[in-house]
Chains A and B, each alone.
Chain A
Amino acid sequence: MSHGHSNPIEHPEVQMASRGSYLTGFIIASLLMLAATILVSGQVLAPFPLLLTIMGCAGLAAIAQIYFLLHIDISEHNIWNTVALVMFIPLFVITIGLTWWMFSQLYLRTMPMIPGMPGMH
């Protein structure tokens, strides 16, 4: 191996990992998933607010996983994680944004409106 024989435990990526953050991330993500499941299975809200709420849950869960499980942030000692984050943002906008646009245009033409959704006729 061309890299040294240094102890992998001393690498900054490994140093950043802690049992606490993994557990926190896991618990937050699980609670958000549970909340979304209860909301959907109990049909607590009208369809459109429900859609927005579970989307919000999914977004929070994604952020929690990125921060607590993957340790991706913008700190300086972790340059490759920052690169990954910079890469993630345009991809997120492209995949979710273009999908949203595409399906909203499709629904305008093909679907009956979802109850509670503003701006649809």
Chain B
Amino acid sequence: MLVNVPGPWSPLLGRLALSEIPYTNPILAPLFVVIVLAGIALVAAITYYGKWGYLWKEWFTTVDHKKLGVMYIILGLVMLFRGFIDGLMMRTQQMLAVGPGDNGMKAMGAIHGYLTPFHFGQIYSAHGLIMILLAATPLLVGIMNIIVPLQIGARDMAYPYLNALGLWITAAAVFLIMISLFVGDFSHNGWFGYAPIFELAYSPGVGVDYWIWTLELVALGTTLGSINFLATVVKMRAPGMTWSRLPIFTWSAVSANIIALTSFPCLQVALALVGADRYLGTHFFTAGFGGNLMLYTNLFWLWGHPEVYFVILPAFGMISEIIPAFSEKPIFGYTAMVLATFAIAGVSWIVWLHHFFTMGMGPYVSTEFSIATMLVGIPTGVKVFNWAATMYKGRLTFSAAMLWAIGALFLLLIGGLTGMMLSIPAVNYMVHNSVFVVAHFHMMLLCIVYAVFGAVIFWFPKVFGFKLNEAWGKIMFWLFSAGTFLVFFPMFMLGFMGETRRLDWPFDPHWAVWFDVQEIGIVVYVLSVLAFLWMIYVSIRDRAHHRVGADAWGTSRSLEWLTDSPVPFYNYAMVPHINARDEAAWRREHGFSQSRPDHFAAIHMPNNTGVAVYIGALTFVIGFGLTWRIWWLTVAALILTVLIMIYRSGKGDPGYVISAEEMEKLDRESRQNMSDGQQHLPKGGGYTGGTVTAYSAAASDQRPQGTPPGNSRPLS
């Protein structure tokens, strides 16, 4: 070992010891028991119903972009819940701990509230890391994974196996951060880390190491994914899908993945240097020996700010798909929208310093970054006006997905305006590191969450063939919005009242009432989580009544609504020829929406492979071994990974061919399956009941197959 770690170390187990398992912690120990019991129940249920083979063949080893996307989304939702529980614990701690004096629960070992400062520090660090990188990013990558190939008329991603690899490496990162709950502890220095507190001398435990390797793994997975997305959109577009016909969501995916590809390496380098400091004894980020503390902050935000736009741009893309569909109009200002997307992406590289305006680099530098930050408001404003103009004089339907999209616009407005305030260095000096900043970026991230829920409701019928329950989707929306209002508006006020972020003990009794309001907000959020789960349950229970045809909403616009719902594994029986920007709307308006391919051709599909699962598992072992400094395990897993990669590269994947006759049969079955689910439905079609809107080029001779949501607005 190059550095002397405090505490015991053995060649076999590294720093791992029984004492590292927090079985005396009154929160973690019961949680551990519950999770173990739930895990045993799950394994027992899968075994009892004999589903292991199904799970392995159909899901774990799949290279199908839709299934990988679904698994990404499930992973993201689970982590969203974990991050939410962290938030709930923080809010409860601050509510209990507020005020002067000694008000802690002695049984928990806390002087204030119910958490010790060390535990509280781990919770806010995990909350931030999880929400941004393990909840928002997988949710967005998952939706892009499903929708981008469908929107460009591709059979799969350019590199199906690489896609699976990205998922399983991200899953390895999730497992690594989850295991830090029960083995050792997690980092306590914030989700982005501060030099020099993460140096070994000041954080001797394994928490920072867990943090480093979780981030490294998720950065690796996302970089691989971004290469795949770019190659897919550049190379795999259907004939006729020119760049000027690309759907806005795909454009936003392109811009976001350019940012991801160029910025994630910065994060990996920054963390590799932290790793060098902690494992090799270098001094990149210490004050002595020529190191520089702020260099870390600089390198981190060099990635961090592009990452922020990497998560917001796909959300903008989702809003841009939902609003036209429920306004029954094409998107207003397509070209301006695409240019605005790329302007935001371009500006994202030159604003990172606004995360540390208070560093002390003087007025000239601050001015440049301040102006650059304000520039972001221009393309974002263009987008907001475009969405508003799309809705203007449209035939609006306030379905659940539309409510989420419009809600996202309100959050964007609040988050954007407070962002403009924060872009002024003078303001920034006043509220730096206060909860005002925290409230600001929660507005922006919740804008993403709103867009994601809207997108999940919007595209769910495409992937699964039936709609989610509209009423419960709306109930969840209003509960979630009430929770957002109650938690984050007091937070803006507390920021102005001088509350700094990450306080385990908010000492000022004047803040108490706002903490109580925030706690009520958290309770409302809990109700919205229950409404979400109930929505899923009700929708699956009543799925037979909510089956949909190819065009699930009747007013959908882009290419993905042409193929069957649920999307067959080959996506399109024949690769479609693209005639217009909004292909589904164009075909509906010209009476081609019912037309089927008149001939079929043999297609080539990739084989499933377990290699991605094995490599994902091995990367988890590498991360775990590095965290606990078990060198033999790390080296063994690394060598095994390389050997598996060489084996896979040598073998390649010849794929398999589905003959034309077989394709015809599969297509007939898929079509039959879809229309069987529709027999009970009246042939009404869409919100307009098949009427010609002002924007139709011509009347449709065939009624669209869409079904109205359960309680849509009656047409006047």
Q: Give the residues in chain B near A99, CB-CB below 8 Å.
A: 298, 302
- The answer, yes or no, to whether B710 is at the interface (CB within 8 Å) is no
Would you give the 0/1 interface string for B419-445, flagging 1 where the beta carbon is closer than 8 Å to chain A? 000000000000000000000000000
Q: CB of B482 within 8 A of chain A? A: no
Q: 1/0 per position for B239-272, CB-CB distance to A under 8 A?
A: 0000000000000000000100010001000000
B262 is contacted by which of A1, A87, A103 (Cβ under 8 Å)?
A87
Q: Which residues of B contact A87 (CB under 8 A)?
A: 258, 262
Within 8 A of B (CB), among A1-28: 1-3, 5
Contact across chains for A110 and B298 when beta carbons are under 8 A apart: no
Q: Is the CB of A106 within 8 A of B575?
A: no
Q: How many residues of A contact B (CB 8 A)?
A: 20
Contact with B along A88-114 (1 / 0, CB 8 A): 000100110011011101101110000
Enumerate chain B residues within 8 angstroms of A2, measured Cβ to Cβ: 154-155, 236, 238, 575
Are A1 and B350 interface neighbours, CB within 8 A?
no
Which of B258, B349, B362, B604 is close to A108, meaning CB atoms less than 8 Å apart?
Answer: B362
**A94-B350, A95-B302, A110-B360 in contact; A1/B604 too (CB < 8 A)?**
yes
Report how far A91 CA is from B345 CA in the complex, Å.
Answer: 12
Flag if B365 contacts A101 (CB, 8 Å).
yes
A94 to B305 alpha-carbon distance, docked (Å): 14
Q: A1-B605, A3-B235, A80-B234 are in contact. Are A102 and B155 (CB under 8 A)?
A: no
- Which residues of A have CB within 8 Å of B353? 98, 102
Q: Is the CB of A1 within 8 A of B362?
A: no
Contact between A109 and B362 (Cβ–Cβ < 8 Å)? yes
- What is the CA–CA distance of A41 and B349 in the complex, to the nearest angstrom? 34
**Interchain CB contact under 8 A, B298 and A109:** no
Docked complex Cα distance between A106 and B155 (Å)? 52
Residues of chain B in range 349-384 having any CB-CB distance to chain A below 8 Å: 349-350, 353, 359-362, 364-365, 368
| Least CB distance, A67 to chain B, in whole angstroms | 18
Q: Across the interface, do A91 and B262 meet the contact criterion of CB distance under 8 Å?
A: yes
Nearest CB in chain B: distance from A83 CB, A: 10
Contacts of A98 in B (CB 8 A): 350, 353, 368
**A43 to B166 Cα, complex, angstroms:** 43
A110 to B155, alpha carbons, bound, how many Å?
57
Q: Looking at B258, B266, B298, B606, which has the most chain A CB atoms within 10 Å of its CB?
A: B298
Asked if A109 contacts B360 (CB within 8 A), the reply is: yes
Number of residues in B with C-beta < 8 Å to the partner? 32
The residue that A95 contacts in the complex, of B266, B294, B361, B655, with Cβ under 8 A, is: B266
Please give, as numbers and ranges, the residues of chain A lying within 8 Å of B235 by CB-CB distance: 3
Contacts of A110 in B (CB 8 A): 360
**Chain A residue with the shortest CB-CB distance to B364:** A105
Q: Are B360 and A102 in contact (CB under 8 A)?
A: no
Residue B156 at the chain A interface, CB threshold 8 Å: yes
B604's nearest neighbour on chain A, judged by CB, is: A1
Q: Which residues of B contact A95 (CB under 8 A)?
A: 266, 302, 349
Contacts of B362 in A (CB 8 A): 105-106, 108-109
A105 to B262: give the CA distance in the assembly, Å. 26
Chain B residue contacts of A94, Cβ below 8 A: 349-350
Bitwise, B574-598 to A at CB < 8 A (1) or not (0) is 0100000000000000000000000
Chain B residues lying within 8 Å of A101, measured Cβ to Cβ, are 365
**A103:B302 contact, CB within 8 angstroms:** no
B361 engages A109 (CB within 8 Å)? yes
- Answer whether A102 and B365 are a contact pair too, CB < 8 Å, given A95-B266, A109-B360: yes
> Which B residue's beta carbon lies closest to that of A51?
B290
A-side contacts of B266, CB under 8 Å? 95
B330–chain A nearest beta-carbon distance, Å: 27
Q: Contact between A106 and B360 (Cβ–Cβ < 8 Å)?
A: yes
Alpha-carbon gap, A80 to B227, bound state (A)? 13
Write the B602-622 contact mask toward A (1 if CB under 8 angstroms, else 0): 011110000000000000000
Contact B302 A102 (CB under 8 A): no
In the complex the two chains form, what is the Cα distance from A5 to B606 in whole Å?
A: 12
Specify the chain A residue showing the minimal Cβ separation from B572: A2
Q: With A3-B235, A80-B234, A95-B302 known to touch, is A103 a contact of B350 (CB < 8 Å)? A: no
Q: How far is the CA of A94 from the CA of B605 in the complex (A)?
A: 42
A20 CA to B5 CA, complexed, in Å: 42
Inter-chain CA distance A109–B298, complex, in Å, is 17
Q: What is the distance, in angstroms, from B268's C-beta to the closest C-beta of chain A?
A: 14
* Bound CA span A54–B402, Å: 56
**B361 & A105 in contact (Cβ 8 Å cutoff):** yes
Task: Tell me whether B606 and A103 are in contact (CB under 8 A).
Answer: no
Q: Which residues of B contact A3 (CB under 8 A)?
A: 235-236
* Contact pattern, B 286-317, Cβ under 8 Å of A = 1, otherwise 0: 00001010110010001000000000000000
A57-107 at interface with B (beta carbon < 8 Å): 80, 87, 91, 94-95, 98-99, 101-103, 105-106
Closest A residue to B352 by CB, please name it.
A98
How far, in whole Å, are A47 and B290 apart by their CA atoms in the complex? 10
A-B contact list, 5 entries, CB within 8 Å: A1-B605, A87-B262, A94-B350, A105-B364, A109-B360
Q: Across the A-B interface, give the 9 residue pairs with the lowest CB-CB distance, nearest first.
A: A106-B361, A105-B361, A1-B604, A105-B362, A105-B365, A102-B365, A102-B361, A94-B349, A94-B350
> Knowing that A1-B156, A105-B361, A105-B365 are A-B contacts, what are 8 other residue pairs whose CB atoms are under 8 Å apart, sorted by A's residue number?
A2-B238, A91-B262, A99-B302, A102-B365, A103-B294, A103-B361, A109-B362, A110-B360
